[in-house]
Amino acid sequence: MRSRRIPLLLLAGALGLMGILTLLEVLPAVAQADTPPPAPTLAPTLLSPAIRMAPQRNLTLTLSVGLHSRMASGATPFPDPVALTLRRGDEVLVHTTVTPFPDGTGGYLYVATLTWYGSYGGGCSACALQPGDILEVAQVGETLSLTIPTLTALADAATATVFGQATPGTSLEVRLYASDSPGTFFTQTVTSTATGDYRADWSSVTALAPRDYGYVVQRLDARRQVYLRYNVPYLEVGLQAHYGTVLLAPATSFTATLFAPTGETRSTFRQHTDSQGEATFYFYESPQVSDTVVVTAAGQVVSLTLFPLEVRPDPNADRLVGQTLPNLHLQADLYPGPLWEDEGALYGRPGGTPEVSRTVTATAGGQYTVSLAGLVDLVPGYYGVLYATTPQGYRLYRLFAAPFLRLHLPGYTLQGQLNGGSRVTVTIVGSLGVPKDLRSFALASSSPTFLDSSPSLALSPGDRITLTTDVGRLLTLTVPLLTARLDRSHSQVTGQAPPGSRVRVEIGRYACEGKASYEGGCPFTLLQSLWTTATVSGRYTVTYDSSLLLL
């Protein structure tokens, strides 16, 4: 650690406080009959516009239905409630009522998501409207009925086409949105053949890239239309992580398979994509270099063979360095740590917004450097994800961590994050140089974190802890003088710490009948986190909110 950095200590002693210190789719502006709506301004892989119809001059109901999103919307001249009924054969799946809202031009709009038993939960969030389903909307004596027609859509990046099935001889409007440019969209009109096939060729207009998406709209008449979404397939896999992400045809069952280099199946996962076509898959075995992930859905196949993606944090130079395949586009997202406080990161993918995100390109030899100087002080505890984009537009990612240790006193509980290695050896030597303990344990390949505990092992100031992994010595920590005393009358915690060190005092509550457990055996609720800096004499004081302890 550089001298310009202030050492960080976490106060983790028990202080007598029973604890230690339906996302709605976006409604774009009304679209005229032959004009596509403006592109959505939110994340294109997560949201789709509700493609709705403009109010007609004769002021009657209109109806637009999303087959995958199960969204029914339309225009009406009246504010009265709109009743919607969905039938499948003799069964009524949905009967609901919604209240229209003003459209700003004197008319009204209504929108409803059709949800029925089996259309959500249990892996069936993908359930969609089916051909032959009948949807009726009624308002003040007027009823409009729509029978769901046959309509499918798939996209192929290699041929830059969108294709599928529709009612024979039907005119279809096909819309295309660029995922990397939300304000860019294209539209064309095609007609299905006598057998119902249709194909929209974009090759003369633009290339299709993974994560691009669009809609196919079929207008039944001036008042009724149906639409569905399509996606250009995308695959993202974590190296030595159990989770991956796909973007495929919406509301479609898919199979993800992890193959060893020998062709042997290591793990298989089956599920449905959601109404936007997204899904997360899980492998019991974590993917390794040279493994291949293959995902199949609706007759389409996407695959990625995992390649080396090394990343090493260099806190002394505020940078990341590593090696991968030549000329790959790389993106590094960095988060303040420690990693184990981010539940998503523990499962392979951090949650929230990164503090810093940088992009670089690997050299012809595969080397790269991500400079963070001036952007973030890469102190121990930071962690992040490095993404590598393949020539096909898919991504491989890897979790990394700047080494960091947290020691609970007075008993021995060592928690930390390491970057690399499969086994760690902990050597503890007393202040007089006498060995106190030697322990070794394996590290999980899918997570850079560990937790090692031995309550019977008492540590003292001056004890020296050294961590060595199978790739070399990593960290050395000398146990400091760290004390804490609770002063309830003044709502303060005071104590002694190394001079000039940063001290964090956590005020919380354990739900285990007053018995704090350093091993995490009791649920802990953090009520307040307080930072301070020890004086030149090593003293520190924090004042906590006493009212929190009365809750």
CATH 2.60.40.10 occupies which residues in the chain? Answer: 234-305
Where does 227-350 have alpha helices with state H?
343-346
Alpha-carbon distance 509 to 176, whole Å? Answer: 53
Segments of the chain scoring below 50 in pLDDT: 1-50, 55-58, 119-125, 514, 516-520
CA proximity to 288, closest of 423, 382, 422, 402: 422
- Write the CA distances from 51 to 39, 228, 293, 396, 476, integer angstroms: 11, 9, 35, 34, 60
Alpha-carbon distance 260 to 244, whole Å? Answer: 16
Mean pLDDT of all residues belonging to the chain:
83
Residue 414 pLDDT: 85
Residue 277 pLDDT: 93
Q: Are 342 and 28 in contact (CB under 8 A)?
A: no
Alpha-carbon distance 255 to 259, whole Å? Answer: 13
CA proximity to 208, closest of 244, 234, 237, 245: 234
Residue 390 pLDDT: 96
| Residues found in the chain | 551
β-partners of residue 541 are 494
CA proximity to 366, closest of 407, 321, 326, 426: 326
Residue 202 pLDDT: 96
CATH number of the domain located at residue range(s) 234-305 in this protein:
2.60.40.10
DSSP characters over 540-551: EEEE--GGGGG-
* Long-range pairs for 353-357: beta carbons < 8 A, 24 or more residues apart: 354/384, 356/332, 357/331, 357/332, 357/333
End-to-end CA distance of the chain: 40
CB atoms near residue 442 (< 10 Å): 11
CA proximity to 398, closest of 471, 318, 327, 307: 307
Alpha-carbon distance 153 to 47, whole Å? Answer: 18
- Write the CA distances from 523 to 224, 404, 407, 509, integer angstroms: 54, 24, 19, 8
Q: Give domain 404-478's CATH architecture.
A: Sandwich (2.60)
Strands of the sheet containing 367-371, edge to edge, are 312-314, 319-323, 367-371
Topology of domain 312-401, CATH:
Immunoglobulin-like (2.60.40)
Q: Are 173 and 216 in contact (CB under 8 A)?
A: yes
How many degrees, rounded to 5, is the angle at CA 474 between CA 471 and CA 475? Answer: 165
